[in-house]
């Protein structure tokens, strides 16, 4: 991507028309649209491939096959989301999705075909074969590749890799860009813009077991919260049922399409157990499959179950799942001959920065799209493969809405002498102590705020997280320190929202309130920082009070 930076107010302040924080599918689609309207700066930790989108395997759900239509796609999405989805947002997702996919194909995305036609597969909770794939099981990387190639042709787009966003810049109740830390030099700068789009992805790293890459630390969610934006549905964390379980390796996602193609789940007694939990067996919704696996692990005192795909045939598995086959082989597991040890891992956040149908947050000047946002399309449980489509659809819509910011702002504030540019003194905590809190947080979230929760475990987690939060006020302003501070804040919001929701619905399961849904379940948790203290949660239309406050 083009590298020279645009106009400067000073050596520490860069002005532009649009600032994008993040570089996945949603960010790239937003950048392509915004480049038509003005200068765009795209800021990201690490390189262009360090994002959740790049690692997405299974595919992208879209109603394009002959047996499908948008009405069916919408119905499946609402059902998987346990009727907590926003109907208007879901309607936009399924109706605008086909256009965004056709556009991507025109830009060179190579989806798999059979006899010259797009190939569709089926995943859990889908009533039709509607999941497009690329490279067998490398859909996300192909979509990122195609969007990146398109983005590289744009003269108005500037790429700033290896930069960490620290805080959003707020003046008179409006967002005007962000404070950025250069990972390599340690210097601070402000990128000032009338419109900022958060596309920073999720926060899987707050859990000890996650399919997310190392940089999924919830930075955008935490920054938006500190700036005063409303977060919604933070208790709804999706755990992918089947991640590779090996004590010596990080969890590796085993795509749901393995089960879609006929893979079978077995416990350590060799029993096929999903028949005891749901009539759709291995293709039940993800929350049900994950809890079924967890229950079997508890019942048989095992650390994992098995995914058996050996009956599908060696040739088929190697051609259909080349990434999974080669990765497992690296860990000495031949999926054509052996059952694969699997257990659930934190995978996707349904909640996030609350947005409207155009990606606008509750904070003027701030927009959000993709996993960092709560657009309402996922409800209590995301339908498989809807996330990449959401990134395309709402990345585009957020960019369209952000483009009007240039017409509604007369002048930009001067941040040349901003106190933000001065690193706080007295940061005496060592990086090792920060790392200790980070690892402890991940273990705590996994054991007390994971697949199965209780009021007692959640209250213990809240108390512990608050202690860590206070300690981290002395954390250094480097990437580990900033990320850990964000992870602790996001963990606190998840935990308090989970404590507040005294019922079980979708991905949120309370063992002390096991009754499905329960009373007054059609509400959304909302978390907003009025002052710089712990989160306050309210229900839909501010009618519900949080538990324990």
Contact predicate 350/507, CB 8 Å? yes
* Cα–Cα dist 190/12, whole Å: 6
Beta-carbon neighbour count of residue 155 at 10 Å? 8
Backbone CA torsion sign across 174, 177, 181, 187: negative
Distances in Å between the Cα of 97 and the Cα atoms of 55, 76, 284, 390, 446 are: 21, 15, 24, 8, 34
CA 122-280-298 angle, 5° bins: 115
Is 286 one of the catalytic residues?
A: yes
DSSP alpha helix (H) spans, 107-169 = 139-151
Place of tokens 């830009």: 107
* DSSP code string of 243-309: EE--TTS---B--THHHHTT-EEE-TTS-B-GGGT-TTGGGS-HHHHHHHHHHHHHHTT-S-EEEE-
* Cα–Cα dist 105/100, whole Å: 9
Q: Which residues does 304 contact at the CB level (< 8 Å), separation at least 6?
A: 245, 268, 297, 341, 342, 343
Exposure string of 188-203, with b = 16+ CB inside 10 Å and e = fewer, is bbbbbbbbbbbbbbbb
For the record, the structure tokens of 17 come out as 């028309």
Choose the catalytic residue: 122, 145, 259, 286: 286
Contact predicate 28/157, CB 8 Å? no
Distances in Å between the Cα of 232 and the Cα atoms of 169, 490, 493, 522 are: 22, 12, 10, 13
Bridge partners of residue 181, in order along the sequence: 164, 188
Bridge partners of residue 165, in order along the sequence: 180
* DSSP code string of 330-395: HTT--TTTSPEEEEEEEEEES-EEE--TTSB-SSTTEEE-GGGEE-SSSTTSPPTT-HHHHHHHHH
- What would you measure as the largest C-alpha separation in the chain, in angstroms? 69
SS3 breakdown of the chain: % helix, strand, coil, rounded to 5? 35, 20, 45
What secondary structure letter does DSSP report for 516?
B
Backbone CA torsion sign across 95, 99, 105, 108: negative
Query: Annotated catalytic sites, by residue?
Result: 286
């Amino acid at each position: 991507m083009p590298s020279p930076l645009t106009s400067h107010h000073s050596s520490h302040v860069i002005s532009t028309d649009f600032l994008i924080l993040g570089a996945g599918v949603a960010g790239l689609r937003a950048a392509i649209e915004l480049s038509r309207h003005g200068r765009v700066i795209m800021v990201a930790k690490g390189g262009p491939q360090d994002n959740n989108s790049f690692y997405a395997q299974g595919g992208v759900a879209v109603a394009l096959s002959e047996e499908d239509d948008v009405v069916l796609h919408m119905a499946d999405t609402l059902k998987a989301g346990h009727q907590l989805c926003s109907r208007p947002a879901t309607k936009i997702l399924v109706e605008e999705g086909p256009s965004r996919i056709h556009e991507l194909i025109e830009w060179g995305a190579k989806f798999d075909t059979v006899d010259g036609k797009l190939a569709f597969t089926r995943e859990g909770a889908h009533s039709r074969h509607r999941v497009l794939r690329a490279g067998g099981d490398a859909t996300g990387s192909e979509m990122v590749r195609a969007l990146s190639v398109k983005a590289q042709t744009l003269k108005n787009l500037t790429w700033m890799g290896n930069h960490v966003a620290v805080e959003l810049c707020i003046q008179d109740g409006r967002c005007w860009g962000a404070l950025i830390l250069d990972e390599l030099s340690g210097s601070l700068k402000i990128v000032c813009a009338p419109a900022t789009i958060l596309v920073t992805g999720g926060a899987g790293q707050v859990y000890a077991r996650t399919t997310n890459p190392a940089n999924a630390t919830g930075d955008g969610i935490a920054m938006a919260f500190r700036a005063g934006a409303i977060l919604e549905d933070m208790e709804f964390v999706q755990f992918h049922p089947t991640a590779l379980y090996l004590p010596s390796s990080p969890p590796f996602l085993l795509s749901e399409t393995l089960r879609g193609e006929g893979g079978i789940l077995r416990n350590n007694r060799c029993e096929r157990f999903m028949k005891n939990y749901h009539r759709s067996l291995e293709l039940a919704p993800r929350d049900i499959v994950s809890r079924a696996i967890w229950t079997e692990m508890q019942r048989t005192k095992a650390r994992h179950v098995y995914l058996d795909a050996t009956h599908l045939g060696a040739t088929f598995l190697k051609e259909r799942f080349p990434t999974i086959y080669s990765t497992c082989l690296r860990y000495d597991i031949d999926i054509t001959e052996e059952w694969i040890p699997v257990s659930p891992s934190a995978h996707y956040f349904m909640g996030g920065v609350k947005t409207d149908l155009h990606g606008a947050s509750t904070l003027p000047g701030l927009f959000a799209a993709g996993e960092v946002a709560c657009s309402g399309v996922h409800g209590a449980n995301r339908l498989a493969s809807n996330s990449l489509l959401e990134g395309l659809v709402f990345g585009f819509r957020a960019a369209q809405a952000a483009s009007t910011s240039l017409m509604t702002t007369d002048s930009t504030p001067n941040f040349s002498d901003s106190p933000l540019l001065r690193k706080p003194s007295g940061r005496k905590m060592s990086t090792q102590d920060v790392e200790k809190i980070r690892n402890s947080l991940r273990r705590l979230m996994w054991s007390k705020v994971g697949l199965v929760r209780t009021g007692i475990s959640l209250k213990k987690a809240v108390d512990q997280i608050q202690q860590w939060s206070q300690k981290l006020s002395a954390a250094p302003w480097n990437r580990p320190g900033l990320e850990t501070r964000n992870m602790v804040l996001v963990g606190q919001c998840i935990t308090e929202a989970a404590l507040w929701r005294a019922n079980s619905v979708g991905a949120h399961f309370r063992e002390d309130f096991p009754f499905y849904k329960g009373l007054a379940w059609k509400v959304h948790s909302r978390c907003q920082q009025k002052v710089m203290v712990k989160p306050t949660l309210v229900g839909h239309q501010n009618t519900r009070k949080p538990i324990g406050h």
